[in-house]
A and B are shown apart, each in its own frame.
Chain A
Amino acid sequence: MSTHKITVTVNGQLRQAEVPARLLLVHFIRETLGLTGTHIGCDTTSCGACTVLLNGRAVKSCTVLAVQANGSEITTVEGLAQNGKLHPIQEGFHMEHGLQCGFCTPGMMLSAIALLKQNPYPTEDDIRWGLSGNLCRCTGYVNIVRAVQYAAEKLRIEN
């Protein structure tokens, strides 16, 4: 098994590692870097629990090889709060009760951030379609939609 040296910027920190060619990005994040907020919920790229931002785009990190991320910038849930202040999407999920078991939440929040970057004024339908790559089994999505609306509002005020 060949190994490759990769350099990535994860949540603003430069990280280097020698990784096997076949190592999935999600395993690199969770096991090599020890950032366990990114979760694994399936083996068919269906559930979105492993969603992270790769150069600002939401990707399912179970379907990206670590070597493909070489030279890129990655944001995981651990990188959302800045200087002890929650990101508006984190605040939205808390205030609107957008999470129950919490397992899908990191991926859901990162998909929502990518959505809001593309579309700062989303309708409810936009939000539902924008999150359709992320499965939640607990909430019925009602309060997730509200959480994203909360964050959209807050981000519009901040920007």
Chain B
Amino acid sequence: MAEINGLGKSMKRKEDARFIQGKGNYIEDIVLPGMIWLDIVRSPYAHARIVNIDTSKAAKIPGVLGFITGKDLEKYNLHWMPTLMSDRQMVLPTDTVKYQAQEVVGVLATDRYAAADGVAAVEIDYEPLPVVVDPFKALQPGAPKVREDKDSNHIWHWEAGDREATDRAIRQAATVVKQRIYIPRIHVASIETCGCVANWDPINKHLTMYMTTQAPHAIRTVIALVAGHVGLSEENIRVISPDIGGGFGGKVPVYPGYVIAIAASVLLGKPVKWIEDRSENLQADSFARDYHMDCELAADGEGRITALRIKTIADHGYTDAAANPSKYPAGLFSICTGSYDYRTAFTEVDAAYTNKPPGGIAYRCSFRVTEAVHAIERMVDILAHERGEDPADFRLKNFIKKEQFPYKSPLGWEFDSGDYHAALQKAMDMIGYRELRKEQAEKRARGELMGIGISSFTEVVGAGPSHQFDILGIKMFDSAEVRIHPTGKAIARFGTKSQGQGHETTYAQILAQELGIPAEHIKVEEGDTDTAPYGLGTYASRSTPTAGAAAAVAARRIREKARKIAAHLLESAEEDLVWEVDRFYVKGSPSRFKTIQDIALAAYTNPPPGVEAGLEATFYYDPPNMTFPFGSYICVVDIDRGTGQVHVRRFVAVDDCGTRINPMIVEGQIHGGLTMGFAPAFMEQIQYDENGNIYGGNFMDYLLPTAVETPRWETGKTVTPSPHHPIGAKGVGESATVGAPAAFVNAVVDALWHLGVRHIDIPITPDKVWQVLKAHGAAAEE
């Protein structure tokens, strides 16, 4: 039998060939005849009234063709667009700007240089207005109002759990620890920025929209929602998402640039290209995090966790443009009770408008899961230290036990499966935890600063079941369409969209496993709404839990039809046939068989009487539950008392994502995820001064880890298959980004706890650590 490269095989990626030879097809590579360039004039002010826009000088620049302003769009009622969270967002302003770098005027030109010249020559008079950048100040009475169309800067209140029971449990607890934890604003900064080529065909009234989107179908629906009233009905829109140079959540939203490009293409009847600069990408695209969390965790006299309470202020910028499922304004923050067994919790979030760009999308995490995990994993560590217990032993004592699954969490999730003890024990064995504690004690006696940090996270991914999850009313299923050619090879199309995850390989492997067709012979396509079945896209670690499941189910339907055909060919009863790897054989006589390739040919040349020709299936998978990947990470750090530099000596990550389809790709996802956990823990932050000026708006100021800073990751695994997923897989793209930051902070604080340090907010920069050391009399003397 041929090697089919099914589940568990580390086959090399099918998509690599074009990428390593410079033949990827990214958005900026798309060039259409007659294409013109769009560039954008942006506001230097965080809040200002637009007094006058003068384009007369810019209009004289050779190559500049025209301009689009908010007033122009207002004529078509396209100056505002709805957000996914029942709010609205400006495409271009007609009167005021709300954040620095907001889009103000679109400049159209024959090439990128002329467009940039035009941008530089547009003259705009502004009248500055009062700015509010601090969400706590924004929520004070009398604060400058960010939005004229709203009553106040308070956007919404959301809560989950039992407030009174939690208050009571915390009052009665033997130990309660409290901590304010801030997770700052960060940016996914995929190496490819966002962009599009909008191509309106005035004859056929049809829009082809090439764009950097992780969710082509959902975005097609949004475009129809934004511009349906001017004739852009959904069936007249084709969204094509070409190769994507990294997404991580940043390519889910609809940004104003896309809509301006569409408007320009419609007005000019020509293709219009818009490609962001890196600075525009960092300054104006969707941010992540910006959660201020007041956390309390309580325990009884034996050190058993009894209750959790978290009150959060969420800074959403000037509009609520978070890309969450409709019923979840604070995302899936209610996963914050973590991997521990207790019955009482309450959490509430209040969202505020500020003069900052909107967003609140994920940074490689499933809807606020990182914030939730960071909170509980920090609090568990603080509680263990406060009680003088070893943080590993404290976790082992409080974990939900393997026999308790499925486990109903205090805030309403049903954790499908888990073995938290096994994962932590494995991580402890790999890193030599007990020996490290001895070494730490010896070093501490000598005055050296060494810390060990643990994070034992539980994620909630794979959104999601239709009774809970929708975006704009569309249920969060995902889809697979599988067609077997007469040659026995196949093409499969999906509603998701890879941005580097390797779908062309992993989906083929799922189908190979189910159908016996070698993965090399299965072509996978995504990203074209005219050809792929409707799906909600790739984010929140949902592709394997949803579209991967759809692939398995569609393949099983094909196999059932294949059984009928095989029975016909073998002149046998269907129930007498046995499936093995790539063939049906007659029970008891394995030499009488038909391979899937034989069957595929017969499906077109010799179908059984009364059976429809062809061999294909389409399936829209509605997951019965979320999946709950988990893991335990342990980090060892050494801190330089003279410089405050934290050196990550070792980092062991044990992940349990259920069944591993391609172990090589899973490892790669974990390596990348850990690095995007390291980045905000030590380096990345977008800050604003009191006037709303951005710090961190380009790659000179917003520091991504290079190969030099990045620790050398060590990985391990346990495998607890999801009981409800067709192949037992749970999703893995984001686990490490979610789980890692708390391990780093826990390690740093562990090194400093004996000095009286209780918490340090990320990013843990050397100067911040040095200030802490100095404040606690522990900085090295010169």
Contact = CB atoms under 8 A, between A and B. Distances in A.
Nearest to A125: B708
Interface in A4-62: 20, 22-23, 27, 30, 35-44, 46-47, 49
A76 B113 contact: no
B486 interface: no
A16 to B, nearest CB: 20
B668 A80 contact: no
Interface string A87-111: 0001001110101111111100100
A119 interface: no
Contacts of B17: 94
A137 B248 contact: yes
Contacts of A131: 706-707
A81 B24 CA distance: 15
A153 interface: no
A47 B113 contact: no
A43 B19 contact: no
A105 B17 CA distance: 12
B754 interface: no
Given A37-B22, A80-B21, A94 B16 contact: yes
A67 B20 CA distance: 28
Nearest to B704: A135
Given A38-B22, A47-B278, A104-B191, A128 B246 contact: no
Contacts of A132: 706-708
A143 B500 contact: no
Contacts of A105: 19-20
A138 B500 contact: yes
B591 to A, nearest CB: 38
B143 to A, nearest CB: 35
Nearest to B30: A36
Interface in A112-154: 124, 127-129, 131-145
A22 B20 contact: no
B191 A103 contact: yes
B19 A99 contact: yes
Given A101-B500, A102-B500, A140 B674 contact: yes
Contact of A103 (B26, B188, B278, B704): B26
B28 to A, nearest CB: 7
Contacts of A140: 671-675, 710, 713
B698 A44 contact: yes
A39 B25 CA distance: 11
Interface residues of B, number: 57
B192 interface: yes
B695 interface: no
Contacts of A49: 191
A137 B15 CA distance: 18
A136 B500 CA distance: 12
A101 B706 contact: no
A109 B278 contact: no
A97 B191 contact: no
B502 to A, nearest CB: 7
A11 to B, nearest CB: 10
Given A94-B13, A102-B15, A102-B19, A22 B113 contact: yes
Contacts, number: 175
Contacts of B112: 27
Between B502, B672, B704, the greatest number of chain A beta carbons within 10 A of the residue's beta carbon is seen for B672
Interface in B212-263: 243-248
Contacts of A86: 20-21
Given A41-B278, A102-B243, A132-B708, A137 B20 contact: no
Given A47-B699, A137-B676, A94 B20 contact: yes
Interface string B266-299: 0000000000011100000000000000000000
B708 A128 contact: yes
A66 interface: no
A148 to B, nearest CB: 10
B29 A36 contact: yes
A144 B706 CA distance: 12
A77 interface: yes
A76 B712 CA distance: 30
A23 B116 CA distance: 13
A101 B243 CA distance: 8
B707 A44 contact: no
Given A47-B191, A97-B13, A101-B246, A141 B20 contact: no
Nearest to B501: A100
Given A132-B707, A138-B500, A97 B245 contact: no
Nearest to B280: A43
A136 B21 contact: no
B732 interface: no
B446 interface: no
Contacts of B20: 77, 86, 90, 93-94, 99, 102, 105, 109
B499 A37 contact: no
Contacts of A77: 20-22
A106 B21 CA distance: 8
A97 B665 contact: yes
Contacts of B29: 36
A136 B675 CA distance: 10
Between B665, B671, B704, the greatest number of chain A beta carbons within 10 A of the residue's beta carbon is seen for B671
Contacts of A47: 191, 278, 699
A112 to B, nearest CB: 11
B670 to A, nearest CB: 8
A59 to B, nearest CB: 17
B23 interface: yes
Interface string B493-505: 0000001111000
B614 to A, nearest CB: 35
A35 B16 contact: no
A139 B698 contact: no
B663 to A, nearest CB: 10
Contact of B22 (A22, A46, A106): A106
A49 B246 CA distance: 13
A83 B191 CA distance: 31
B192 A103 contact: yes
A13 B23 CA distance: 19
A102 B29 CA distance: 14
23 contacts: A20-B113, A40-B28, A41-B191, A44-B699, A46-B700, A77-B22, A86-B20, A93-B20, A94-B12, A94-B20, A99-B500, A100-B246, A100-B500, A100-B502, A101-B499, A102-B18, A103-B24, A135-B704, A136-B191, A137-B191, A137-B672, A137-B704, A140-B674
Given A36-B22, A37-B24, A43-B278, 10 more contacts: A37-B21, A41-B193, A42-B699, A46-B699, A77-B21, A97-B664, A101-B500, A128-B710, A137-B191, A143-B668
6 smallest CB-CB distances across A and B, nearest first, come from A37-B22, A102-B19, A103-B245, A101-B500, A140-B671, A100-B500
